[in-house]
Structure 1
């Protein structure tokens, strides 16, 4: 049985990696990119370059999008809308959950199925055993194309709501980007005492890699949060808040930007003000969920 044809639109590093993975698995792949020369290497490896977005849509039932954002999808496919009927669009571009839901409605209005996705590995890891991708949208449509999508990475379908995959993707990046900023802030903090980045980063990295073990500690943190339980026998909001305060003061003395440490401290100050100083640090989730708004905010 021959492998199903696939169209892939958008040939940045991620798009190119997906094309090569699909070609290696024996799928006929049609590609299109606003800058055609990006397809030269892929064509040499067996891909077919479509002359237009409409031609790219016509080549395959399954159309994977790897673009900058969802706005780019409208820019590319807007003039080819009549060719969308009967196609399944799998948009692996990054954007907000609300825009993903709007895109699903737009695609349905043109007779196309729509599945949202979030690729959770960098381009060099696409197609490896470590790769996984979150999806959301119609289960039946997703399952019909699961074998092809599994070539990119292990598929994890979250539900029918088109916005769920983007929400999960952004939640991961929320942790990732905040961790990167914290790493750079800590590097700058050590640098204020003459410790070079080459010395600082190796010392700091174990804190990031040890977090899963620290959070585990024989307890299911997520289940406790869901149950509204925040036992303070290992750490408390007051204790963590004091540390956050010391980080702000030290950063201020070092002349560093205070936006990140002040934001972190604010979570603990809120929990303490709400009377939860003796609870576990996880209690800060309450204030994050229900922020206090200024009257004109």
Structure 2
């Protein structure tokens, strides 16, 4: 029997968001609205201007951004899927139908992000098992000609592994 683990955070837990593409900006604004202090970092610092104006704090480096907030974000990670699926009547139906909507986050773009995460994790001396596994999924999808597809295309390689 699987027992689901629930994590609780205090109402004003500090949170870090690294990466301020459309999703990172939306997450940051949602957290700010909920009353969380949010520290952000993006390799293109100018992308942070809007969320900083909304109340986020801009860090100079990913290490500075992670500070004490990273464990809180990781502890809450098991809730993210439930949040994302909340509006779906049948979670994953589009992927099951081989539909990969959206063009803002392609396999190639997210693969480049995975490359940066691997490089940064290595530079910080972090365990590389998970970043390398994620990077491998993107490289597999690119190798199969799906670089221009939405990032959700990596599900094909995961399902066929």
Flag structure 1 segments of 5+ consecutive residues without an equivalent. Answer: 1-118, 123-189, 292-297
Shift of 1:206: 4.2
After TM superposition, give the deviation of residue 274 of structure 1 in Å: 1.0
- What TM-score, normalized by structure 2, do the two folds share? 0.51
Aligned to 1:282: 152
TM-score (normalizing by structure 1)? 0.30
Question: Structure 2: where are the runs of 5+ without partners?
Answer: 5-60
How far apart, in 2, do the equivalents of 1:248 and 1:258 lie? Answer: 7
Of the candidates 67, 90, 93, which is equivalent to residue 195 of structure 1? 67
- Give the match for residue 42 of structure 1: none
Question: Over residues 57-110 of structure 1, what are the superposed CA-to-partner deviations in whole Å (9 max), with x where a residue is unaligned?
Answer: xxxxxxxxxxxxxxxxxxxxxxxxxxxxxxxxxxxxxxxxxxxxxxxxxxxxxx
Q: How many angstroms apart in 2 are the aligned matches of 1:252 and 1:264? A: 14
Give the aligned length.
105
Measure, in 2, the Cα distance between the counterparts of 1:262 and 1:251: 10
Deviations 1:145-190 (A, max 9, x none): xxxxxxxxxxxxxxxxxxxxxxxxxxxxxxxxxxxxxxxxxxxxx9
Seen in structure 2, the aligned counterparts of structure 1 residues 264 and 213 have a Cα distance that, compared at 3 Å, is: same
Q: CA deviation at 1:278?
A: 2.3
2:93 counterpart residue number: 223
Question: Retained in 2: the 8 A contact 1:235–1:280?
Answer: yes
Larger Rg: 1
User: 1:220 and 1:231, CA in 2 relative to 1: closer, same or farther beyond 3 A?
Assistant: farther
* Larger fraction in strand: 1
Q: Distance in 1 between matches of 2:62 and 2:148?
A: 34
Q: Does 1:242 align with 2:112?
A: yes
What's the CA shift for 1:260? 1.4
Change (3 A) 1:221 1:270: farther
**Which of the pair has the greater relative contact order for Cα pairs under 8 Å at 6+ separation?**
2
Aligned-CA RMSD value? 3.3
